[in-house]
């Protein structure tokens, strides 16, 4: 049963991620990415961590990919414009990238190879919400805080970048701050 579910969703993840890179229409690519991330979330659930699976769906498919769609629609990229341009040497570079990635994966397996019967199963402590929180707020507290700071900087940067330049208006009695009206599209989104 578990193997069957794993096989279905692993194949679905691989197939849909192929569609993401191959499809000409960016909207279809985005929707395939939704399927990919959803399948990976199911794999997380099979591995015993519904928490990470739910977070994956909540954050990636529920928010970030909607923003992707939002941007694609605002820019109105249609399939006629053909965003997937083929350039010279693209195939060679792609093969090279695949070889390097495959090599990395193999090296990883090689260096950390443990016989299958000596592997410990994923324990509840590793994947549960409590276990994750404990590790996150003790062992990895500093990286966690730094990531938080980084995100804060990104939010401030996005807000500054989205603001219209403030023009001092001498003729009217308005304060410059009155002239800055952010329209809805320019609101900082997560």
Partner 1 sequence: MTPNLIATGINIAVMLGFMLTVVPVMVWVERRGSALIQDRPGPNRLGPFGLIQPLADALKFMFKEDVTPNAVDKPLYLLAPALAIMPAMLTISVIPFGPDFVLNGVAYPLMITSAPAGVLLFLALGSLGVYSLVLAGYASNNKFSLMGAIRASAQMISYELALTMAVLAVVIPVGSFHLGDIVEYQRAHVWTFIPQILGFGVFLIASFAETNRLPFDLPEAESELVAGFHTEYSAMRFASFFMGEYMSMTSLSALGVTLYFGGWSLPGVHLDGLLGAIVGLLVLVAKIGVCMAVFVWVRWSFPRFRYDQLMRLGWKVLMPIAIVNLIAVSAMTLAGWL
Where does this chain bind partner 1 (CB under 8 A)?
A: 27-28, 31, 34, 41, 50-51, 54-58, 61-63, 66-67, 69-70, 73-74, 129, 183-185, 187-190
Closest distance of CB 184 from partner 1, Å: 4
Rg (CA), the chain: 23
Nearest approach in angstroms of CB 63 to partner 1 is 6
CB closer to partner 1 out of 117 and 185: 185
Least CB distance to partner 1 at residue 118 (A): 29
Q: Which is nearer to partner 1, 51 or 144 (CB)?
A: 51
Which residue, 10 or 66, is less far from partner 1 as judged by CB? 66
CA atoms of 98 and 102, how far apart (whole Å): 6
Measured on CA atoms in the order 29, 32, 33, 34, is the torsion positive or negative?
positive
| 70 vs 101, beta carbon nearer partner 1 | 70
Nearer to partner 1, 15 or 50 (CB): 50
Backbone conformation region of residue 174, classed left if phi is above 0, alpha if psi is from -120 to 50, else beta: beta
> CB of residue 25 vs partner 1: minimum separation in angstroms?
8
- Token pair recorded at residue 45: 């659930």
Find out whether 52 and 37 touch, Cβ atoms under 8 Å.
no
Q: Shortest CA distance to 16 belongs to which of 5, 4, 29?
A: 29
Name the 3-class secondary structure at 164.
Answer: coil
**Cβ-contact 36, 60 below 8 angstroms:** no
Instruction: Write down the least CB distance from residue 183 to partner 1, Å.
Output: 7
């Amino acid at each position: 049963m578990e193997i069957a579910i794993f096989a279905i969703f692993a194949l679905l993840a691989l197939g849909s991620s192929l569609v993401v890179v191959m499809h000409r229409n960016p909207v279809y690519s985005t929707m395939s990415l939704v399927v990919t991330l959803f399948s990976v979330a199911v794999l997380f659930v099979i591995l015993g961590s519904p928490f990470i699976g739910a977070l994956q769906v909540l954050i990636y498919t529920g928010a970030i990919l909607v923003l992707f769609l939002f941007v694609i629609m605002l820019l109105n990229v249609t399939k006629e414009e053909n965003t997937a341009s083929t350039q010279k040497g693209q195939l060679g570079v792609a093969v090279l990238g695949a070889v390097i990635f495959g090599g990395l994966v193999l090296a990883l397996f090689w260096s950390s190879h443990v016989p299958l019967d000596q592997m410990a199963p994923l324990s509840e402590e590793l994947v549960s919400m409590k276990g994750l929180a404990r590790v996150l707020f003790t062992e990895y507290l500093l990286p966690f805080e730094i990531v938080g700071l980084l995100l804060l900087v990104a939010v401030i940067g996005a807000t500054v970048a989205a603001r219209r330049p403030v023009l001092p208006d001498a003729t009217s009695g308005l304060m410059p701050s009155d002239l800055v009206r952010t329209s809805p599209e320019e609101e900082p989104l997560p």
